[in-house]
């Protein structure tokens, strides 16, 4: 009788041990998957062209082109990339009363569901003075990790794109994505479409690839320091 009780106790303990090990393994896999996920947000799209620069060039297409090049770089190096959009479409229903609001909300939902290591939102800048140019990276004012990531990406772009007037990463507490998104997120303004010279360069595939490479290097430097 005692032997049967002992055998039953051992069996229960073994089953409990297997269960705990399986739970730890599942947790480790989940953490590993999250650690390899990065969200890339190509700003605007569909009915929303974004900034319209010199010669009528639209921001949305440049954003997508750079985002896709960054996607390729990350995937080639083992990351799982989630794109908020991969075509010229907005994230809204055609009958939505406020398409812009729905679009932004859905981008935030994608980020929340993905639970990525970080998110980069690709945009192009504008300014009243057409002489202003160069990359500018924004982070949420109350995010220490966002600031770190922004500093690495900003420095990488300043150096790699040979910025004539290098900027510093800038805090912001009003941009919707920065305020409403979960996790670490940067908005990367790659250049100024209001600067005629830079607007032309931003349409060149080689320059877009160079920008994607600089953003990628900034991301890698950030991850190495985490």
How do residues 172-186 score in pLDDT, each as one tens digit? Answer: 999 999 999 999 999
What are the boundaries of each domain within the chain? 31-225
Name the token pair of 205.
């595939």
Residue ranges of alpha helices (H) inside the chain are: 2-35, 59-76, 99-114, 144-160, 176-180, 196-202, 205-225
Least-confidence region, from 29-33, 75-79, 110-114, 125-129: 29-33
pLDDT at 26: 45
CATH, domain 31-225, list 3.40.630.40, 3.40.50.300, 3.40.50.2300, 3.40.50.720? 3.40.630.40
Q: Which residue has the higher pLDDT, 31 or 80?
A: 80
147-163 average pLDDT score: 98
Residues 6+ apart with CB under 8 A from 126: 51, 53, 192, 193, 194
What is the distance between the alpha carbons of residues 38 and 40, in angstroms, rounded to a whole number?
Answer: 7
Residue with tokens 């970080």: 118
């Amino acid at each position: 009788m005692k032997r049967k009780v002992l055998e039953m106790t051992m069996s229960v303990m073994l089953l409990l041990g297997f269960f705990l090990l399986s739970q730890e393994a599942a947790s480790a896999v989940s953490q590993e998957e999250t650690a390899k996920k990065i969200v890339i947000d190509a700003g605007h799209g569909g009915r929303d062209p974004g900034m319209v620069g010199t010669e009528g060039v639209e921001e949305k297409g440049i954003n997508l082109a750079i985002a896709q090049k960054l996607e390729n770089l990350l995937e080639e190096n083992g990351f799982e990339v989630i794109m908020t959009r991969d075509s010229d479409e907005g994230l809204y229903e055609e009958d939505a009363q406020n398409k812009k609001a729905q679009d932004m909300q859905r981008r935030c939902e994608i980020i929340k569901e993905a639970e990525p290591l970080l998110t980069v939102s690709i945009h192009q800048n504008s300014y009243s003075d057409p002489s202003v140019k160069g990359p500018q990276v924004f982070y949420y004012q109350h995010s220490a990790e966002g600031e770190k990531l922004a500093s690495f990406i900003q420095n990488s772009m300043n150096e790699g794109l040979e910025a004539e007037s290098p900027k510093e990463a800038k805090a912001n507490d009003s941009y919707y994505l920065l305020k409403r998104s979960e996790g670490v997120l940067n908005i990367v303004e790659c250049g100024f479409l209001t600067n005629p010279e830079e607007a032309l360069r931003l349409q060149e595939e080689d320059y877009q690839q160079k920008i994607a490479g600089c953003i990628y290097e900034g991301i890698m430097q950030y991850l190495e320091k985490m």
